[in-house]
Amino acid sequence: MVRIDGRGDGNSLIRARKLGKTYRRGGEEIHVLQGLDLDVDAGDFVAFMGPSGSGKTTLLNLLGGLDVPSTGSVTVAGDEITHMSASKLTAWRARHVGFVFQMYNLIPVLTAFQNVELPLLLTSLSKAERRRHVETALEVVGLGDRMRHYPRQLSGGQEQRVGIARAIVADPTFLLCDEPTGDLDRKSADEILDLLDRLVRDHGKTALMVTHDPLAAARARIVLHLEKGVLVEAAAAADRDPRG
């Protein structure tokens, strides 16, 4: 269940209240987000759409603890992250957030296995345990046979799947996906969206996705529109035919 009216029941996995972000450019103040409310339950798959500059990425940055709001608060699984120190926020991100980037952002000198292993290096898992987790994550994304490949040896779709494996390997609370199909052809994009859909449906993950692509957005259960920093519309998209 996703609400944008600030009337969530308090059991939401992600809760934003009066969220505002203002940038100062020269003498001018730019209000990117203006008092936004959002409640996302566990297991939701939410797509954020909107024109460039509408504040989609800023919203994801704030929900993912990469940036701090000018006003308002963000609470995830009961943790109010708005006032955490930078160091605590970093540790929190490692535990709770899985990032999927448009440009994949894999480390080119590391193999697929080593890229996926990165978040686990921050845990106390043994080498054998890390190996097991990484192999599982790569199997989930269908790249069990590409572990020793370097990013340059993979297609764009495969690189993104490695990126998704990296995002899920530490079993985070939720996934933040920024234009995950933005750099892919239609076929690869569909495979990635299938994968995200499967992660939500079969593995109970919660995913928040920013996209410009209506077909991609249609794969989410809920589509929210951002315009000039305000969530202006919510549309239930569950059970909608993505290609319809």
Partner 1 sequence: MKYLHLVVRNLFRKKTRTALTAGSFAVALFLFGILAAVDGAFKQGVDVAGVDRLVVLNRVSIIQPLPLSYRDRIARIPGVTGVTFANWFGGVYQDERNFFPQFAIDRDKYREMYPEFIVPDDQWQAFLTDKEGAIVGEALMERFNWKVGDRIPVKGTIFPGNWEFNIRGVYKGRRVQDDTTQFWFRWDYLDERKSFTKGLVGWYVIRIANPDDAVRLVKVIDEQFTNSPTETKTDTEKAFAASFVKQMGNIQLLIMSVGSVVFFTLLLVTGNTMAIAVRERTRELAVLKAVGFKDGFVLALVIAETMAVAAVGGAVGLGLAKLFTLRGDPTGGLLPFFYVSPRSIATGLGLALAVGFAAGILPALAASRLRVVDALRRI
Element (H, E) at 216: helix 214-217
Contact pick of 20, 31, 79, 95 for partner 1 (by CB under 8 A): 95
Return the residue of 25, 78, 87, 202 that touches partner 1, per CB under 8 A.
87
Contact in structure between 44 and 234 (CB atoms under 8 Å)? no
Question: CB-based contacts of 28: which residues, under 8 Å, 6+ apart?
Answer: none
Q: Please, what is the end-to-end C-alpha distance for the chain in angstroms?
A: 23
According to the binding rule CB under 8 A, does residue 86 interact with partner 1?
Answer: yes
For partner 1, the binding residues in 147-166 under the rule CB under 8 A are: 166
Which positions from 35 to 64 touch partner 1 by CB under 8 A, shown as an x/- string? Answer: ----------------------x--xx--x
- If binding is defined by CB under 8 A, does position 24 make contact with partner 1? no
Task: Using the minimum distance from each CB to partner 1, give the nearer residue, 8 or 217.
Answer: 217
The phi-psi region of residue 173 (left if phi > 0; otherwise alpha if psi is between -120 and 50; otherwise beta) is: alpha
Strand-pairing partners, residue 175, are: 98, 207
Q: Which strands, in side-by-side order, build the sheet including 28-40?
A: 2-3, 28-40, 14-25, 71-76, 79-80
Can residue 66 be called a binding residue for partner 1 (CB under 8 A)?
yes
Which positions lie near partner 1, rule CB under 8 A? Answer: 57, 60-61, 64, 66-67, 86-87, 90-91, 93-95, 99, 101-103, 105, 107-110, 114, 118-119, 121-122, 127, 166, 176, 178-179, 210
